[in-house]
Amino acid sequence: MQDLLATAPLAEVETYLAEVSDRLARTEDPALARMVLGVQAPLANRLNMQSRKHRLEDDAFRIARPQQYQMAVKLLRRNKAVRGKEVLRLKGRFEQLLADGGVQTRDISGRHKQPYSLWKKLNKKGTISHVHDLLALRVIVADEAECYRALDVLHGAFQPDLDRLKDYIKRPKPNGYRSLHTSLAWHQKTVEVQIRTPRMQRQAESGAAAHFHYDQHKDSKHYRRGEPAAAIARSSPEIWVYVFSPAGDVYRLPEAATSLDFAFAVHSQVGLRARGAKINGRIGKLDSGLSQGDVVEVLTGPQPRPKPDWLYMVATRKARNRIQRWLKRQQRGHYRDIGKQKLLDLFHGQLPAGLDDVCRRYNYPGRDDLYVAVGAGYLRPGTVYNLVYPPRKPSPAKAGSGAPQPGKGGARVVIAGMEGLDYRMASCCDPSPGDQITGHLTSASGVTVHWQDCGRLAGESQRLIGAEWAGGK
């Protein structure tokens, strides 16, 4: 919304912001006030409508957080008249000093804290003693060289706090912001001073280095890594929507976000247990889109119940990651149960101790990992069986007994009640006359004869065929 309005004709945006301000004054609606602080005031700041921005912020702050507003106002009212006189005295002193030093100044102006900006500073700094810019001046000079000359003059006349000296001209902020910042001691007070050229001033207020851009991105990983403003801009969604919980909490989501994204923004467990949503009091679906200012209530169930198609309903990374994590965990549990049941069936309800040797053979940390491998099809139950109970090897006597080999004309096994059918003996279990046997149909080898309880036959009941030794051996 901010980006759309920022590209609209300026007169239309001014009219829109004026209407919002008027509506806020008439209704004094706390929900509207919270939205103004999150949407319209930052928009006014981005468009350099500073007076409109301050009015929106302070009116919304007064309505949304009346107690904090009164506290900030009381702090600002303390010695207000004295502070105003001090700013005037400092301005005159600066003008005289800089003129005597031959510095070409364009403007010197005082800056006063507004209730909302003071409250934000107090939240960050902790106490009023740590808020250094209640007294602040901005000095605009002709060019970059004059910035440093002005700094030298002021440092020669006042005691500077060198720990707070910041040269953003030689070392601009990653968003392109350029200026000199210094703190001066004056009558047991601290005066914050910004020194910059007209071009730097324009950039700071309405160019690529706008305060809106800096405040929005200074805590991002891109900004901390020192990436340029263009990279920061690419990392941000183009349009945000601001929606509210029934309690009035504000949530910022991408334009493509759905009710399900909102649920995960509230809390991961709310998202996992989501069943539906009410949008502005009307029942909606989890994939319902959201609009600016919607009030969303998530309807939840007692247990998590995400589905794979939820991944196509969400636009935020947080929601997608939480859904994927839950599905993966549940899928593992599903495969574990399937694999364990297959092995229970194979070993007739009693899992042997030899399964631990199989785990060590495949470097599985525990039996659950073995069950998952079997359930997911990575490891055949028959392979597990033959590792636990290795097939018997033919004895030398048997090998040299001259018994006819399987095949036409000398068949020892009757397949499906018919003699003379081609078959071969399975090498895995090597059946011998007298063993209980069965035939296994394969597309590559025809019929293979196995023990009836050979592990290789687990899950192959559809491809088994009757077999017995010829002569009833």
pLDDT at 395: 47
| pLDDT at residue 415 tops 50 | yes
- SS3 of residue 214 by DSSP: helix
| pLDDT at residue 229 tops 50 | no
Residue 174: band (very low, low, confident or very high) from pLDDT cuts 50, 70, 90:
low
Q: What is the DSSP string of 38-73?
A: HTHHHHHHHTT-HHHHHHHHHHHHHHH-HHHHHHHH
Same domain, 381 and 414: no
More confident residue, 8 or 445: 445
The verdict on residue 285 lying in a domain is: yes
| pLDDT at residue 230 tops 90 | no
For residue 456, how many C-alpha atoms fall within 13 Å in the half-sphere facing its CB? 18
How much is the average pLDDT of 137-151?
92
| Bridge partners (DSSP) listed for residue 440 | 448, 464
Report the 10 Å Cβ neighbour count for 40. Answer: 27
Average pLDDT over all residues of the chain? 77
Residue 173: band (very low, low, confident or very high) from pLDDT cuts 50, 70, 90:
low
Same domain, 41 and 83: no
pLDDT at 227: 45
Each residue's pLDDT tens digit, 353-375: 889 998 888 888 888 989 988 88
Integer Cα distance of 197 and 186 in angstroms:
24
Residue 238: band (very low, low, confident or very high) from pLDDT cuts 50, 70, 90:
very low
Same domain, 108 and 177: yes
Final residue of a structural domain among 41, 64, 87: 64
Q: Structure pTM?
A: 0.38
| pLDDT at residue 450 tops 50 | yes
Classify burial at 38, counting beta carbons within 10 Å of its beta carbon; exposed 0-12, middle 13-18, buried 19 or more. Answer: middle
pLDDT at 119: 76
pLDDT at 194: 92
Residue 298 phi/psi, 5-degree rounding, is -90, 130
Cα three-residue angle 315-298-67, rounded to 5 degrees: 100
Whether residue 137 contacts residue 87, with contact meaning beta carbons closer than 8 Å, is answered with yes
How much is the average pLDDT of 405-427?
64
| pLDDT at residue 399 tops 50 | no
Each residue's pLDDT tens digit, 332-345: 888 889 989 988 88
The amino acid sitting at 312 is Y
The verdict on residue 69 lying in a domain is: no
Residue 404: band (very low, low, confident or very high) from pLDDT cuts 50, 70, 90:
very low
Residue 454: band (very low, low, confident or very high) from pLDDT cuts 50, 70, 90:
confident
The verdict on residue 225 lying in a domain is: no
Give, in order, the Cα–Cα distances in Å from 199 to each of 144, 181, 228, 265, 300: 10, 16, 19, 41, 54
What range does the domain containing 257 cover?
A: 250-315
How much is the average pLDDT of 409-431?
69
Integer Cα distance of 97 and 156 in angstroms:
10
Closest CA relative to residue 458, chosen from 366, 369, 375: 375
The verdict on residue 379 lying in a domain is: yes
Domain count, the chain: 5
Integer Cα distance of 448 and 383 in angstroms:
17
The verdict on residue 267 lying in a domain is: yes
How much is the average pLDDT of 8-19?
66
The verdict on residue 183 lying in a domain is: yes
pLDDT at 156: 87
pLDDT at 420: 62
How much is the average pLDDT of 431-455?
77
Integer Cα distance of 351 and 242 in angstroms:
57
Same domain, 45 and 175: no
> What residues contact 430, with CB distance under 8 A and at least 6 apart?
391, 392, 393, 394
| Bridge partners (DSSP) listed for residue 195 | 139, 180
Same domain, 148 and 209: yes
CATH number of domain containing 132? 3.30.460.10
Same domain, 45 and 84: no
Integer Cα distance of 359 and 364 in angstroms:
5
Integer Cα distance of 173 and 181 in angstroms:
13
135 secondary structure, DSSP code? S
Integer Cα distance of 440 and 254 in angstroms:
58
pLDDT > 70 fraction of the chain, expressed in percent and rounded = 74
Same domain, 84 and 39: no
Whether residue 311 contacts residue 323, with contact meaning beta carbons closer than 8 Å, is answered with yes
The verdict on residue 240 lying in a domain is: no
How much is the average pLDDT of 9-33?
79
Each residue's pLDDT tens digit, 262-318: 999 999 999 999 999 999 889 989 998 988 778 899 999 999 988 888 988 898 989
pLDDT at 473: 52
Q: What is the DSSP string of 368-429?
A: HHHHHHHHTTSS-HHHHHHHHSPPPPPPHHHHTS-PPPSSTTS--EEETTBTT---EE-TTT
Length of the chain: 473
Token couple for 121: 């500073």
**Dihedral sign from CA coordinates of 382, 383, 384, 390:** positive
Each residue's pLDDT tens digit, 41-99: 877 766 556 677 878 888 988 998 888 888 878 777 765 655 677 888 888 999 999 99
Integer Cα distance of 396 and 434 in angstroms:
18
How much is the average pLDDT of 207-223?
46
Whether residue 445 contacts residue 424, with contact meaning beta carbons closer than 8 Å, is answered with yes
| pLDDT at residue 226 tops 70 | no
Token couple for 377: 């099809």
Same domain, 136 and 37: no
Whether residue 240 contacts residue 37, with contact meaning beta carbons closer than 8 Å, is answered with no
Same domain, 116 and 175: yes
Same domain, 106 and 174: yes
Same domain, 384 and 417: no
Whether residue 147 contacts residue 175, with contact meaning beta carbons closer than 8 Å, is answered with no
The verdict on residue 136 lying in a domain is: yes
pLDDT at 465: 83
More confident residue, 270 or 127: 270
CATH number of domain containing 270? 3.10.20.30
Final residue of a structural domain among 358, 388, 418: 388
Integer Cα distance of 179 and 140 in angstroms:
10
Final residue of a structural domain among 174, 197, 216: 216
For residue 423, how many C-alpha atoms fall within 13 Å in the half-sphere facing its CB? 30
- SS3 of residue 470 by DSSP: helix
Same domain, 86 and 190: yes
How much is the average pLDDT of 430-451?
77
